[in-house]
Chain A
């Protein structure tokens, strides 16, 4: 039993992957709580899916994925903002249109004959392939997100709880809604190397959903979400090591499983 637990740690590949998921957990867990409270889950899904063309272009050019992710997120965000302004479409349809278009564009680019066969890696991540540089980049981005969330805690709480009074209480709501989306974009960029643009959303949303079911106070929910995201990362890596299945997908499934286990504990009052 002990060997079952310690065996994975003897591999440097797993050690780096473990460091990566623990780093991401610190940003993804608490961010997910805010994203859910702000009802931005759809935006989280859309931003990460919409950056595929950026990732593919970076892969084609041999550039670091983080650069492609950054460009892809910016283009996706701009597209969503532009199309969403059309009142005939409304923001949800606008998002669906832009994201489908970008996913399709990414697919065409990735499946072209001259493209290197890395589409699976972009979609599902390569957790076991992270190197020291990836760790440093993810660490820096995750630190920015975690510190910003801590510093903005009260303003985010004012805006999320009661938007109509937020300004009178010192937090201009539009500013903090945008700030949360920016932090979401940064986290998406940080997580794409390890988890891929289809799976990273699971590590953002699932621990947050579980924590909100179990906790009645915000600080507890934020801390528990980080812990559950870390737990999902560890459990996923161990499963992937012993069952020889894809690491990123295992982490995502463990995160979802944790959220599913908490469903009976309906702590949240429905609105």
Chain B
């Protein structure tokens, strides 16, 4: 890899004074790479994203990024009772580049409509966000990240609990972004899915392993990552974390 898009060196930090929620994280990901971020609940996946967003008190190490990353939260983080349409939400991706005294540019309005089209929701542009299904809401939040047009995208379990149509659309968008040279960090519980991506980062309050899936996803690493939460099925990487389907 020539120029790394995301470079994290010796990162440790956390919100509570004196305790590191996450420590010893060290990896670099290049343009056009999808990194699967694996780990149990509370293992530090969201904490890592908070650090990359500049919201985590970092005690040691540092983070280098090409500009502000786009962040796609788990859908339940967004308010269902907020009076916005799908298009309004997609348009929020353009707010940071719109001065407060200006209207959102026409090009950005077109960009937002096109982004909804890319996630397969063109005909739902006017629908109230709260009336959409979970998978559709996830796609709207991804459209918002597309409008933001960042080099690096952080996605927090974008495929958890979404319907098949939504999952297929989301994976197609990932492929497009990878082709366009964007870097994606995707938190996931699905080891099999991560095995198809370019890199995997295994976290359990610290970095367990980072590298190509074939090299990293052995039973030993998975056991260390998931501890007692994991059932390893026969066949190596065919593994599922348990106890995380509640949400």
Contacts and interface: CB of A to CB of B under 8 A. Distances in A.
Nearest to B96: A170
B88 A152 contact: no
Contacts of B88: 217-218
Interface residues of A, number: 30
Contacts of A162: 73, 77-79, 141
B175 interface: no
Interface residues of B, number: 34
Nearest to A160: B82
B73 A169 contact: no
A161 B79 contact: yes
Nearest to A37: B82
A163 B53 CA distance: 13
Given A167-B54, A170-B95, A155 B100 contact: yes
Interface stretch (B16-24, B63-71, B186-194): B63-71
B95 A161 contact: no
A163 B77 contact: yes
A168 B93 CA distance: 9
Contacts of B47: none
Interface in B22-53: 53
B101 A151 contact: yes
Contact of B73 (A155, A160, A165, A270): A165
Given A167-B54, A171-B95, A269-B131, A151 B100 contact: yes
Interface string B53-64: 111000000000
Interface core residue of B53, B79, B89 (most chain A CB under 10 Å): B79
Interface in B65-123: 68-73, 77-85, 88-89, 92-93, 95-98, 100-101
Nearest to A218: B83
13 contacts: A154-B100, A155-B100, A158-B92, A160-B82, A162-B77, A164-B71, A164-B73, A165-B71, A171-B95, A216-B85, A217-B88, A218-B83, A270-B81
